Structures are given as C-alpha cells and as structure tokens.
Structure 1
Amino acid sequence: MNPDSVAVVIPAFNEESTVAGVIGVAQRLTADVVVASDGSVDDTVNVARQAGARVLDLQPNGGKGPALKAALEATQAEYVLMLDADLTGLTPEHLHLLLAPVTNGQLDMSIGVFEGGGFVTDWGNKLTPHLSGQRACRRAWLLGVPHLGEERWPEPAITAHLKNTGARWDYIELPQVAQVLKEKKRGFWKGARARTRMYADLLTFGWRKKK
C-alpha cells in the first residue's frame, strides 16, 4: 500500500497533553496527518504543529463533526484513519489493524474498540462500540455521510450511513489502547457534566433526525 494514499485525521479540543503522542504514532504510518483543533483554548494548536502535523485552527468551537469534515477536506488521500486526540497506548500496529481490512477490500469501514487499556474506557467503549471515534474507511465515503459537518458528535451519523448504504463494517479490537477520561482532564464535576452532555447528544441522534 502506498503511504501517500492514507491520511490520519484527528479532531481535537483542548488535548495539549496527548495530541503529540497520537500524532507521533500516526506519522509512522503516513506523513499526511491533519489535526483539526475545534476552538481549543489551551496549547493544542502549537503542540500539534511542533509535532509535525498540519493543523487547522478552527474558531469558535463548533463540535467534532465540523472539525472532522474540515480535516477530511484538507487532504486528498484515498483512505483515512479517524483518531481521537486523547488516546493512550496507541501503536502503529493498531493503525494497521484498522486499515488493513479496508485497503484489502474486506470492509468498507473498520471501527476500533478498546481491549485491556483500562476498565472504565474498556467498559464504556464496549457498551457503546458504535460510538467509537477510531475508524478507517475511504475518504470519499466518509465525506458522503449526511449531516457529517452539522453534528457535534458525528459517530451516530456515520453509523446510520453504514446501515442505510449496506456498507460492510466490523469492530476491530485495539489491545491496550485507552482514552484519558474527561473527569481527569477537566476535573470530576466538569468532566462528568461534559460526559453527560456528550452521551445525551450521541444517543438522541435518531430521535432528533426524525423530528
């Protein structure tokens, strides 16, 4: 596979402590790494630039969906890996696990789920695996997802498009990968409120689109 045919896109909001690590792993797969900072007010933009990524400094904060779409439009790669910016334990092998079934034509999309990275993130990821932010697919397919750039959290829209188009997809286990909990990044109460708002938005996608 030609590395030039793959881009890694990383939506990020206030992830100065972890984004460089994710970028570093992504760069071992491809030089085309795009970080879309979604109105970050910390040092995410500078850290990501110093790590060697192309950075889109989006203002104001508009949500992960608009950030993801902007990152997709900033590359011409045939295939994309979508990664969250707060991952820990990530290795190039994990990226190959996600990408291989897509580039070899077995799947239209692979969706990464955590395994062994930590009880809380493992549990949350396995309870709602369809909400995972770690995915691989063709860039053109992802840009074709209805409402992609309108949703604060785009994963439900992506999952709905998988079902509506009859696309071939499967879950791929990512051993020892985890995410930094919102409660740890923002403090317990702020993090808990942010998590509650996130899940409320994610889990009401279908109801909102039927209105």
Structure 2
Amino acid sequence: MLPSASPSPPRVAVVIPAYNEEETVATVVQAALAFSPEVVVASDGSADLTAEVARAAGARVVELRENRGKGPALKAALEATGAEFVVMLDADLLGLTREHLEQLLAPVLAGELDMAIGVFEGGGSFASDWGNRLTPNLSGQRACRRDWLLAVPRLGEERWPEPPITDWLRETGARWDYVELGQVRQVLKETKRGFWKGARARTRMYAELLSYRRRRRRG
C-alpha cells in the first residue's frame, strides 16, 4: 500500500501597497521573500522608482497609472495572486524579518484568528511606536485569508482600507487580535517628505479617515 501523500502547505502571498517608497521597498520585499516566494507590490501611481526597485528586489509588480490610494492598490495586489492566505505589509518598514511575518501569520494558519494585526514594539522610534499604539486599528501589517479580505465592502474604493476592514471584522464576527512585532518601525511621513509636507500629508490622511463614517452613511 502506498503511503498517503502529505498535505501540501497552504499558498501564502505577501502583498505590499506602495506609493513613492523607493528608499525602503527593497528591504521590505527582501524580508518578505525570505518568508514566501510570492510577493506582490502594487505601485500606486508612484512618481519615483518604487516599481523598478521592487521589481529588481524580486517582487511581482502591479502598476496603477494614477495615485488612487492604499485601498485600490491593496485590492490590485490581492487580485494579482491566487494565494489562500495573505500577509499585508506597508512599504516603509524598517527592521522587518522573516520571523515577524511568521509570527503574524501563525495564529491565522492555526485557526485561532481570522485576522492578526501587527503592532510595533521597541523599534527604536518613539514616534513610530507611539503612533502605532495610539491607533493600532490603522496598522497596515495584517494576516488573513485572501477571500475574506477581498470580500470587504468598498475595499477598492476607499483611499485608506483600514476603516472598512475594521467594520467588516465587526460585521462578520471575525476573530482578531494584535501581534507584537518587536524592533520594527515605520518611516514617518515627516522624515520621508520633509516636516511640513509630511505634516500636511498626515493631516490629509486623518481627515480622510475621519470622514469615512460620513461617506458610508451617505452610501
């Protein structure tokens, strides 16, 4: 009698929405490739070399012609893979390792959570850690089933996908929790763009996030 074949491991893809992140996207892609051979970067109308740098680092790249926002870029990346599970990452992370991605996905693969949300811990930047702790529901580091994420209403319509994801978690009764990502931090907008441009970009981001509820009630 032939031995039964062992079940094949689940297919996992790392999806990375990116807008003008040529300085950091390669290191994020390299950490992701150490974890999974399938890494998809969606360049959200970037005006710099984000797409070229990500492709040279080994990612499959989807290029949006115009800057439409993180939500449309995330959806484009999800549609470019048929993986069963996905790990979603921001493109401006520092200190990321394969172990962090394993920690993020583990409770989802084990069936303990429907979504794991990564939060920074001890990454060496008070501002990055503090901001992530203050608004952990806005974290871009997540793991879940791809089909669940694609089912989120308005995912590809909202510039920032985290609020509709939060609503979908609540509406579907999904099990979720935070996972600490030690020694990981995010490059602040003020650092990437200069203080005033970064501050304006941050203000616009929070204004759009705060207006989400109003737009949803109207819709």
TM range (shorter): over 0.9
Tell me if 1:72 matches 2:115.
Answer: no
Tell me if 1:17 matches 2:23.
Answer: yes
Q: Distance in 1 between matches of 2:196 and 2:10?
A: 43
Relative to the length of structure 2, the TM-score reads: 0.94
The one-letter code of the counterpart of 2:201 is: A
**1:206: Cα distance to partner?**
1.9
| Equivalent in the alignment of 2:201 | 194
Tell me if 1:142 matches 2:149.
Answer: yes
| Equivalent in the alignment of 1:98 | 104
Q: Is the 8 A contact 2:84 2:147 kept in 1?
A: yes
What SS class does the counterpart of residue 40 from structure 2 fall into?
A: strand
The one-letter code of the counterpart of 1:132 is: S
**1:208: Cα distance to partner?**
2.2
* Structure 1: gaps spanning 5 or more residues: none
| Equivalent in the alignment of 1:179 | 186
Tell me if 1:26 matches 2:58.
Answer: no
| Equivalent in the alignment of 1:116 | 122
Tell me if 1:107 matches 2:107.
Answer: no
Q: Distance in 1 between matches of 2:61 and 2:164?
A: 25
Q: Distance in 2 between matches of 1:127 and 1:87?
A: 18
Partner residue of 2:51 out of 33, 41, 45: 45
Q: Is the 8 A contact 1:36 1:58 kept in 2?
A: yes
**1:123: Cα distance to partner?**
0.6
Comparing 108-117 with 1-10, greater Cα deviation is found at: 1-10
**1:6: Cα distance to partner?**
0.2
The one-letter code of the counterpart of 2:170 is: K
Map Cα deviations across residues 149-204 of structure 1 (whole Å, 9 max, x no partner). 00100001101100011000001111111110101111110000000111111233
| Equivalent in the alignment of 1:59 | 65
RMSD: 1.1
The one-letter code of the counterpart of 2:78 is: L
**1:3: Cα distance to partner?**
6.0
Q: Is the 8 A contact 1:4 1:32 kept in 2?
A: no
Q: Distance in 1 between matches of 2:20 and 2:73?
A: 13
Q: Once the two structures are aligned, what percentage of the paired residues are identical?
A: 71
Aligned pairs, number: 211
Relative to the length of structure 1, the TM-score reads: 0.98
Q: Distance in 2 between matches of 1:26 and 1:88?
A: 12
* Structure 2: gaps spanning 5 or more residues: 1-6
